[in-house]
Chain A
Amino acid sequence: MSGLEKINATLHWLSGLSERVPGAAMVGRYIQRSHQNDPVRTALEIGLALFAIRYFLASRKAVSKRTYVPFTEKEVDELVEDWYPEPLVPESLDLVQRMQLSRNPILVGANGPKTHITSPPPLYPVAADDASPHSPSSPGTDSASLVTSSSDLSSDGELIAPHNAIPPHYSVSKAFEPIDYAAFSTKEVVNFALPSLYSFDQRPEVKANAIRITREYGVGVCGPTGFYGYLDVQISLEKRMAAFLGTEDVVIYTQALATATSVLPAFCKRGDIVVADQSVNFAIQKGIQISRCTAHYFAHNDLRDLENILEKVYTSSLKRKPLTRHFLVIEGIYDATGQIPNVPEILKLAKKYKFRIILDQTWSLGVLGDKGKGILSRYNIDPTDIDITIGSLAHSLGSGGGFCAGSNDVVAHQRINSPAVVFSAALPAVLANSAEKSLDLLESEGDKLLADLQKNIQAVRAVLSKVSNLIKIMSDPDSPLIIVQVKHEVLISVLKRRGPLVPEISYDETFEVNGLGQLKRRVSAGKIPLPFSLSGKSTTHRRRRALSNSKVTYDAERVILQEIIDLCLQDGVLLSRQIAIESLERRPIKPALKIIVPQGLTVKECEKSANVVKSALQKVLGKKH
């Protein structure tokens, strides 16, 4: 009886409460009515409600509980004892990786269109009293030890003897042998690998100015812009850059590479949609990845494919409320291919399908358009039509850092929401000021500088086009970044002639080239790079299969390109190839030579150097050998 009384009392209290809580009366009425109609239903509904509450409270735990295996403390101890992690880094590097490490000379002095290089000293910096087990006996400094040291690259401290490292079935490439870069420390080499196209950073007036700034500001800024690190030098660069580009405002980043990776997550959130060219650079890829938005990629520079995707996204988004943000990401000159997109057409499409454009001007700033104002100026596009422009101070401007330009809202948002702005020290005054000086120089001498640069580019391209039977130039005619790919059939014939140069599997993947020139990823068994212990039988088998199916491993291609690069260097021309982090890129990067034509050479010098490249190409790829 007393139980019933209590229930009654509670109900009374509840109804009293329901009068005070707005809306509760309605709920009460609902319960009353349903109860009158059907008590069973009430019970059912209460049950459902309880279940829902339980579900929401426990949903997270329930999932993990289901797969949770209870162990006793002792069992856990045993499991802990038995568990061993994989090594922090792969225990051995493969041949091509070692080749890459051994092909990294260092600059003796300033970097410019002509420069001096030397071999890197031994890799092991050892304190005199440090008896670390890995340390080699004594890092010498005479040139003989420099020669050995450049091949001294094994991770476990032993010298690599290149000839021993290669299984007998493979032809030995010179690219695996050590090079004595120290020989070039007295000889000048022409630098076809210089992103600072105009070498503003080496001009006496810029240097003098940098020294003055050091004497006024010191070096480090000692704080993020939010915390007393917002120097007047930086403000003035921001203003200057905004005026140069024709946007409302600009925000400076401390590193060019970090810019795009930080800008994208500042605007794109989970659920937003990004459509990007499939060849966008690493920084953008990672920015898209970390923003956790939905990403679609269109075929490189393919407007038709782009429109298809935009239309699909647009129509499917119409059904959804509220609207999600849509971004279209392109580059001014693609780092991967040197190609230039048709921005006016892309802009039309973007407007039609309500996409905002994020444009990466890393390479196009200082190269295209009136006085190097970039790709928008080249196409006479109003800069305010592009919502977000990303750029670098470290390329043609010859300083360091990156920037992002846009409307006041876009920039103000980043100052508080872009992680690399908020959580990192500001750009050193010296670099900010030098970039501003470079802008001044572009403005005052831009016409002549750009014309010189174009002359040099055309001179190099003219020479290279003479060997178009061997190579394909991927880049746009105006791009100072010239990407040169070896033709597929040429590669096949070189490999047929020489046999495979490296084991087919060197990273954990091989790539198959299908008829359309598109690449398919084929993941092979091993995850860790295989050591070179493939048995003779399987390798010959593999070799036959590889050649008959006209598959070429990228590694073999890289070795061939390195041979070309080494030959060029012997004749005094320094150039590079596409070096990419295969395991982290979204899609495989086709190996290619990367020639960057600087403005500071004469046309004659450019022709001469291009001829060096041409004859190296002929020598390595041509039929005569």
Chain B
Amino acid sequence: MKQKLPQLFKHNKSASNGTISVSATATDLNDNEFGPLTSKEYLYHCPPSHAELDIDEKCEPQYYILVCTYLSYLILIILGHIEDFFGKRLYPTKYRHLTEFDGYAPLNSGFDNFYIRRLKRRLDTAFSRPTTGVPGRYIRVLERRSINDNESFEFTGETRDCLNLSSYNYLGFAQSQGHCADAVEQAIKTHGITTSAPRSMYGSSVLHDETEKLVARYFNRESALVFSMGFATNAALFMPLAQKGCLIISDELNHSSIRFGTRLTGAVIKIFKHNDMQELEAVLREQISQGQPRTHRPWRKIFVAVEGLYSMEGTMCDLPRLIELRRRYKFYLFVDEAHSVGAIGSHSGGVTDFFNIPTNEIDILMGTFTKSFGASGGYVCGDASLINYLKLTNSNYVYGEPVAPAVLTQISVSLKIMLNEIAPGQGSERLERLGFNSRYLRLGLRRLGFIECGHQDSPILPVMIYLPSRLLMVSKLILERYNIAVVLAGYPATPLSEARVRLCMSAALTKEDLDYLLRAIDKVGDELDLKYCYGRTPETSWNIDNVFDTLVEDCKKDEFFK
């Protein structure tokens, strides 16, 4: 079958290649960074309110797939140990850092280390691929090769432009042109690269102040703080808030940064099953009635930490239920909106917007600017009393370097675009394109028989692969044959047996790009037998030739996602 490919892209600034643009962003873009909108049909406006979270059942793979997965790991582990056994004896210098040497203990040891050397190295070609340029609609990957089994790589000097489903670029703000970039240029001219000192020691500038006020306004909260790194925002956030005698109840799939931050406190940490509100309630009831371990004193404070949208699963937190529980059990609710902010809700306000819940129902609202706004860093917003207290006790504010002027400007201009204060219409178009693209691709994948998981409106689309050998092949085929960049997610980001390919949707992609992607994935899926759910129900048994017939209309209807 001859495929209809989108015209392959040259890195130039010429206008759109024959396609008619109906886009409000038309003046603002380079087609390689942000594809033009080709029809008003390809927009989806998220309805203003959802009363509850619909949880859709993930299709389970056949039993033999799971058995094979475990077997493959078993074989890999045994092979790895054999290699190590001989390696340590034959090439002692190579293993010096792994064995006791001259009275020093090995620098690295344990399973993580073994996993990296013996399992992950086999996949290394698919990770840490160097890139250059803007990670927009296309990403330019630098080609490299290894002559020593992935121990090191050398560049071949060639590059490959790939359709980009790997970057967190939900609203398509990864751009080197347009309103953001123009403003950033101006900011560098007047403010330089950095304001240097920590915020507590005169590192704040008017830009920080403006951006923080804007962020607070965006979320309709009293105050906000911005920090130079999303990870560090979480890592430092809990220390001054949760002391000894406090309890933090955390979702089992919370991001590493939240786990890092909570482990730095003196609080007791309990975990509940992912999104299981019943278990959360049970934990709350038990903990409040039993009090602190041994002493039975009442807990001083209880925090519940969840994410708005889980980055590896694409699932959304059950906010309506959490708010109910919060009223009843009086805990402090922390929501990490790293992935949901900007990408979700009828006004791109994140999960609170999606469920139409006032943001002041959330005590600590955190998020990052890395994913949706093409910037970097994180924010916290809440009551003025919280923010004032953090100004005294948050280590990022007191000791850390402030957000750079260029980044601040990217944040504030992109937020203003989403508020339709700059270039009216552009913000809503970005949001509606993202909404359409996510649903279009998700329904397409489901109909073709793939196991995708997550919420229907989530821009994160994990496609389950399970088998480690297929994982590598998917990445290789899809990159080398079809020029598409996708992310592989495996241990330690997911459980060992649940390796997956993660597609990150972007408003910068066009519907034609997605058609191409679906065709490519369909081919790969057939070749590697990845359509684990094909044939289970009529809904999951479409073939590629007719799947496009009604996809544009169907993907806008909720019933097809049930």
Residues on A facing B (Cβ under 8 Å): 64, 67-69, 71, 75-76, 79-80, 83-86, 88-91, 93, 97, 100-101, 104-112, 117-118, 120-121, 123-127, 130, 132, 134-135, 153, 155-157, 191, 193-196, 200-202, 206-207, 210-211, 214-223, 225-233, 235, 254-258, 261, 267, 269, 272, 281-283, 286, 289-290, 322-326, 354, 356, 387, 392, 394, 398-400, 407, 409-410, 413, 415-417, 419-420, 422-425, 427-428, 430-431, 434, 574, 576, 579-581, 583-584, 594
Interface flag for B370 (CB, 8 Å)? yes
Q: Please give the distance in Å from B488's CB to the nearest CB on chain A.
A: 8
CA distance A15 to B104 in the complex (A): 48
User: Is there an interface contact between A107 and B204, defined as CB atoms closer than 8 Å?
Assistant: yes
User: Is there an interface contact between B260 and A419, defined as CB atoms closer than 8 Å?
Assistant: yes
Encode B482-517 as 1/0 by CB contact (under 8 A) with A: 000101000011000000000000000000000000
Query: Using a Cβ cutoff of 8 Å, how many contacts connect chains A and B?
Result: 415
CA distance A85 to B217 in the complex (A): 28
Interface flag for B354 (CB, 8 Å)? no
User: Is there an interface contact between A227 and B399, defined as CB atoms closer than 8 Å?
Assistant: no
| Given the contacts A254-B231, A255-B400, A424-B231, A419 and B257 also touching, CB distance less than 8 Å | yes
Interface flag for B141 (CB, 8 Å)? yes
Q: Interface size for chain B: under 10, 10 to 19, 20 to 34, or 35 or more residues? A: 35 or more
**CB-nearest residue of chain A to B286:** A76
CA distance A75 to B185 in the complex (A): 63
User: Is there an interface contact between A85 and B332, defined as CB atoms closer than 8 Å?
Assistant: yes
Q: Please give the distance in Å from B168's CB to the nearest CB on chain A.
A: 5
Chain A residues near B201: list those with CB within 8 A. 193, 576, 579, 594
Encode B117-155 as 1/0 by CB contact (under 8 A) with A: 000100000011111111110010110000000000000
| Stretch from B15-23, B80-88, B291-299, B455-463 contacting the other chain | B291-299
Chain A residues near B105: list those with CB within 8 A. 272, 322-326
User: Is there an interface contact between A210 and B188, defined as CB atoms closer than 8 Å?
Assistant: yes
| Given the contacts A226-B127, A425-B168, A258 and B141 also touching, CB distance less than 8 Å | no
**CB-nearest residue of chain A to B167:** A222
| Stretch from B41-49, B220-228, B440-448, B537-545 contacting the other chain | B220-228
User: Is there an interface contact between A584 and B240, defined as CB atoms closer than 8 Å?
Assistant: yes
Known contacts A258-B229, A581-B393; 8 further A-B pairs (Cβ under 8 A) = A79-B288, A80-B289, A85-B300, A86-B301, A108-B205, A354-B103, A409-B97, A581-B399
| Stretch from B189-197, B520-528, B550-558 contacting the other chain | B189-197
Interface flag for B116 (CB, 8 Å)? yes
CA distance A346 to B305 in the complex (A): 43
- Can you give 5 contacting A-B residue pairs, CB < 8 Å? A219-B375, A223-B487, A233-B132, A322-B105, A407-B97
User: Is there an interface contact between B197 and A409, defined as CB atoms closer than 8 Å?
Assistant: no
User: Is there an interface contact between B181 and A118, defined as CB atoms closer than 8 Å?
Assistant: no
Interface flag for B356 (CB, 8 Å)? no
Q: Please give the distance in Å from A112's CB to the nearest CB on chain B.
A: 8
CA distance A221 to B128 in the complex (A): 13
| Stretch from B55-63, B343-351, B380-388 contacting the other chain | B380-388
Interface flag for B100 (CB, 8 Å)? yes
User: Is there an interface contact between A228 and B193, defined as CB atoms closer than 8 Å?
Assistant: no
Most B C-beta atoms less than 10 A away, residue of A118, A135, A425 = A425
User: Is there an interface contact between A417 and B116, defined as CB atoms closer than 8 Å?
Assistant: yes
User: Is there an interface contact between A124 and B220, defined as CB atoms closer than 8 Å?
Assistant: no
User: Is there an interface contact between B131 and A289, defined as CB atoms closer than 8 Å?
Assistant: no
CA distance A407 to B107 in the complex (A): 11
Interface flag for B376 (CB, 8 Å)? yes
Q: Please give the distance in Å from B490's CB to the nearest CB on chain A.
A: 11
User: Is there an interface contact between B104 and A228, defined as CB atoms closer than 8 Å?
Assistant: no
Chain A residues near B401: list those with CB within 8 A. 255-257, 392, 394, 400
| Stretch from B1-9, B70-78, B208-216, B428-436 contacting the other chain | B208-216
Please give me the 3 A-B residue pairs with the lowest Cβ-Cβ distance, nearest first: A125-B213, A155-B385, A201-B193
**CB-nearest residue of chain B to A206:** B193
| Given the contacts A85-B301, A195-B196, A423-B257, A257 and B174 also touching, CB distance less than 8 Å | no
Interface flag for B410 (CB, 8 Å)? yes
Contact of A214 among B135, B181, B200 (CB under 8 A): B181
User: Is there an interface contact between B288 and A83, defined as CB atoms closer than 8 Å?
Assistant: yes
Contact of B406 among A219, A392, A410, A580 (CB under 8 A): A219
User: Is there an interface contact between B131 and A153, defined as CB atoms closer than 8 Å?
Assistant: no
Interface flag for B391 (CB, 8 Å)? yes
CA distance A68 to B57 in the complex (A): 36
| Given the contacts A124-B223, A193-B201, A228-B131, A413 and B193 also touching, CB distance less than 8 Å | no
Contact of A231 among B130, B284, B406 (CB under 8 A): B130
Contact of A423 among B136, B231, B383 (CB under 8 A): B231
Chain B, 360-391, CB within 8 A of any chain A CB: 360, 363-364, 368-371, 373-376, 383-389, 391
User: Is there an interface contact between B200 and A88, defined as CB atoms closer than 8 Å?
Assistant: no
Residues on B facing A (Cβ under 8 Å): 33, 97, 100, 102-108, 110, 112-113, 116, 120, 127-136, 139, 141-142, 164, 166-169, 173-177, 180-181, 184-185, 188-197, 199-206, 208-209, 212-214, 216-217, 220, 222-224, 228-232, 235, 239-241, 255-257, 260, 263-264, 284-285, 288-290, 293-294, 296, 298-302, 328-332, 360, 363-364, 368-371, 373-376, 383-389, 391-396, 398-401, 404, 406-407, 410, 485, 487, 492-493
User: Is there an interface contact between B376 and A89, defined as CB atoms closer than 8 Å?
Assistant: no
Chain A residues near B493: list those with CB within 8 A. 422
User: Is there an interface contact between A75 and B404, defined as CB atoms closer than 8 Å?
Assistant: no
User: Is there an interface contact between A155 and B384, defined as CB atoms closer than 8 Å?
Assistant: yes
User: Is there an interface contact between B383 and A134, defined as CB atoms closer than 8 Å?
Assistant: yes
Chain A residues near B384: list those with CB within 8 A. 123-124, 134, 155, 157
User: Is there an interface contact between A111 and B107, defined as CB atoms closer than 8 Å?
Assistant: no
User: Is there an interface contact between A399 and B241, defined as CB atoms closer than 8 Å?
Assistant: no
Chain B residues near A581: list those with CB within 8 A. 240, 392-395, 398-399
**CB-nearest residue of chain B to A120:** B209
User: Is there an interface contact between A104 and B389, defined as CB atoms closer than 8 Å?
Assistant: no
Q: Please give the distance in Å from A368's CB to the nearest CB on chain B.
A: 19
User: Is there an interface contact between A258 and B231, defined as CB atoms closer than 8 Å?
Assistant: yes
Chain A residues near B168: list those with CB within 8 A. 222-223, 425
User: Is there an interface contact between A227 and B487, defined as CB atoms closer than 8 Å?
Assistant: yes
CA distance A118 to B205 in the complex (A): 9
CA distance A339 to B206 in the complex (A): 34
User: Is there an interface contact between A428 and B406, defined as CB atoms closer than 8 Å?
Assistant: yes
User: Is there an interface contact between B395 and A111, defined as CB atoms closer than 8 Å?
Assistant: no
Chain B residues near A106: list those with CB within 8 A. 204-206, 208-209
User: Is there an interface contact between B296 and A69, defined as CB atoms closer than 8 Å?
Assistant: yes
CA distance A411 to B461 in the complex (A): 32
CA distance A417 to B394 in the complex (A): 25
CA distance A216 to B299 in the complex (A): 53
Contact of A325 among B107, B222, B387 (CB under 8 A): B107
CA distance A285 to B5 in the complex (A): 55
Chain A residues near B404: list those with CB within 8 A. 399-400, 428, 430-431
User: Is there an interface contact between B202 and A218, defined as CB atoms closer than 8 Å?
Assistant: no
CA distance A293 to B286 in the complex (A): 32
Contact of A125 among B169, B204, B224, B301 (CB under 8 A): B224
User: Is there an interface contact between B290 and A130, defined as CB atoms closer than 8 Å?
Assistant: no
Contact of A409 among B107, B223, B332 (CB under 8 A): B107
Most A C-beta atoms less than 10 A away, residue of B228, B299, B371 = B228
User: Is there an interface contact between A79 and B289, defined as CB atoms closer than 8 Å?
Assistant: yes
CA distance A202 to B404 in the complex (A): 13
User: Is there an interface contact between B196 and A80, defined as CB atoms closer than 8 Å?
Assistant: no
Contact of A89 among B33, B127, B181, B385 (CB under 8 A): B385
| Given the contacts A257-B396, A576-B201, A579-B398, A290 and B260 also touching, CB distance less than 8 Å | yes
| Given the contacts A219-B180, A254-B229, A424 and B257 also touching, CB distance less than 8 Å | yes
**CB-nearest residue of chain A to B247:** A85
**CB-nearest residue of chain B to A289:** B264
Q: Please give the distance in Å from A187's CB to the nearest CB on chain B.
A: 15
User: Is there an interface contact between A232 and B130, defined as CB atoms closer than 8 Å?
Assistant: yes
Contact of B289 among A76, A109, A117, A398 (CB under 8 A): A76
**CB-nearest residue of chain A to B100:** A323
| Given the contacts A230-B128, A254-B376, A323-B103, A125 and B223 also touching, CB distance less than 8 Å | yes
**CB-nearest residue of chain A to B382:** A88
